[in-house]
Amino acid sequence: MIKILVIHGPNLNLLGKREPAIYGRVTLAQINRMLKNAAKKKGVSLAIKQSNLEGRMVDFIQQA
């Protein structure tokens, strides 16, 4: 099975909340649901992570 790791970076946890006129009203949770639905339809394993810290994102990659 194909495995995909999606890593959302700094401030993406604020999507839909911070300056929606600029960044839109779609939240990170909504994006994650869309990604999960698409992965399920394709039979792909999907892991989703988010961090505001670069070091933590490196940890996600090394643990994958």
* CATH, domain range 3-63: 3.40.50.9100
End-to-end CA distance of the chain: 14
User: Quick one: pLDDT at residue 42?
Assistant: 98
Which tens digit of pLDDT belongs to each residue from 28-51? 999 999 999 999 999 999 999 999
User: Quick one: pLDDT at residue 4?
Assistant: 98
Residue boundaries of the structural domains of the chain: 3-63
Q: How far is CA 26 from CA 23, 33, 49, 64, in A?
A: 8, 11, 17, 27
